[in-house]
Every structure is written in C-alpha cells, then in structure tokens.
Amino acid sequence: MKIHPTAVISEEAEIAADVEIGPYVCIEGPVTIGAGCRLLPHAILTGHTTLGERNVVGSHTVLGGEPQDLSYRSGTESYVRVGSDNIIREYCTIHRGASPGSATVLGDGNFLMAGAHLGHNCQVGNHCIIANNVLFGGYMEVGDRAFVGGNSVFHQFVRIGRLSITQGMSAISKDVPPFTMSAQHSEVLGLNVVGLRRAGWSAALRGEVKRAFHLIYAEGLNVSQAVEKARAMSWGPEATYFFDFIAGAKRRGICSLRTPRDQSKRFGLEPAG
C-alpha cells in the first residue's frame, strides 16, 4: 500500500493492500476501499462508504458526506456504495442516503467530471458520463450509458433513461425517456440516433424505437392512451423498456416534445396576432 505520510486514516477503515493514497487525504469512519483504487490529494471519504476496485477519486472530492435534507438526523447510519472502474474527478460530491439503511449508489465504469454532485439516495447505473458541474437532486435514477451535459440541473425524483443524452445547461424537472435527446426546460428534441448507432444498434432496431417514439409523441394521444395502445401491439425488448419507463413516470411525468413553434416562441420569432 502506498500512503503519503500526511494522509489521515481512521482505524475503522478497511483498505486493500495496493491502494494509493495521496497527500492530505482524509478517511473517516468505516470506509471500505477495494483493490487498485487511487485517492488523489485532499480527497475525503467518510461514513459508511464502500468503493469497489480500480476507482480513481479526484482531489478535493467528498464521498459519503451528510445529505442536504432537512429530515436527516445526525448519526443516521446510511451509505454510499460505489462500484468498480469509476473515474470521479476533482471537487465531486456524493452524499449518503437520508434515511436509516438507505444508500446512494454509483455503478461501474462511470465518468464524473469535475464538480458533479450526486444528491442523497441517487441510483446511477453503469458507463454513464456526467459532465462538469452537473447537479442531481435526491432520489434520482439514471440508466446505463446516459450522457449528461455540463452545468445541467435535475429536480429530485427525476429519472433519466438508458442511452439518453441531455444537452448542457439544461434544467430538467421531468423524466427523460430512454434513447432520447433532452434539452433546456424539460424538453425532448428527438431520439439519440448517434448514441444508438455508437451502441451498435441495427437500423431495424432504431426503426422500431423510432415508431415507439412516434406513438408517444406524434399521434395526438395523451401518455396513458399511447401506453395503452402500445400494450396491444408487439414490440421487442428495447421498445418495451421504453414504454415501461414512460408508464412508470407517475411522479414527475415525461419531458415534452419541442416543436418548431416552441422554438420560434423561445427566440421571439412567433408572428404577432
């Protein structure tokens, strides 16, 4: 184990033999750190925080801090659980769960760029890219391979679907359906076609998801009617997941489709009268 002499490490911590711990790192309480992890200078890990293997934790990052929730009571035993092969860059914060026994979870292979914040009880999947200064409110759910642009902010309880992409500087208070592009104020622009191609999706599979998207957003039905109509049809697993996700958007609803008229109004191009 390579530990800089200025690091402060709790006797309760369990640390694998090959972990690298840089200058002025602080490890407080029953933290568990798996093999191959690197903690860069001034990183802070506290509470019941568990890291899998081969994670990189950037300078001044804080993992396991108390949640920013007025219902939280100091001394509550809650958790941060981080998988393996994540890159967590400098000044990121991941807060532990707000209620007893609850956890904030980050899966495997994610890239959190500088300044990203995961609020209490967030559940983030695998291979997501979360760009600089993204703010996730509490109890969010993020599907695998989602991409979130820099300086975007998300309301608590929002869900982000798998293989979706959110434009930077967005403010999202509704669920982002899988495979879509979202932007600005809880708007969907269309399907994430480039992302689906990069994921190796065939033209036939992209076409089926396009038909599913059209049923939800372009047939003049409300969400309940569209989902009911979809249930009477035959779909593959990806489109089925798309409809299941939308059917589950009962707390926040789903992002609305931006139309050319919406764009005109946004930039003051709507004709008078």
> What pLDDT is stored for residue 259 in this prediction?
80
> What pLDDT is stored for residue 260 in this prediction?
64
pTM of the complete model beyond 0.85: yes
List Cβ neighbours of 49 (8 Å cut-off, separation of 6 or more): 29, 31, 32, 63, 64, 79, 80, 81, 82, 96
H or E element in which residue 42 lies: none
Q: Which of 245, 141, 257, 104 is nearest to 191 (CA)?
A: 257
Structure tokens at 126: 């695998």
> What pLDDT is stored for residue 273 in this prediction?
38
DSSP letter at 185 equals: B
Q: How distant is the alpha carbon of residue 152 from its chain centre? A: 11
Task: Please report, in tens digits, the pLDDT of each residue of the chain (273 residues total).
Answer: 799 999 999 999 999 999 999 999 999 999 999 999 999 999 999 999 999 999 999 999 999 999 999 999 999 999 999 999 999 999 999 999 999 999 999 999 999 999 999 999 999 999 999 999 999 999 999 999 999 999 999 999 999 999 999 999 999 999 999 999 999 999 999 999 999 999 999 999 999 999 999 999 999 999 999 999 999 999 999 999 999 999 999 999 999 999 865 544 443 334 443
> What pLDDT is stored for residue 267 in this prediction?
35
Q: Residue 51: beta bridge partners?
A: 33, 82
> What pLDDT is stored for residue 1 in this prediction?
74
Q: Residue 171: beta bridge partners?
A: 153, 185
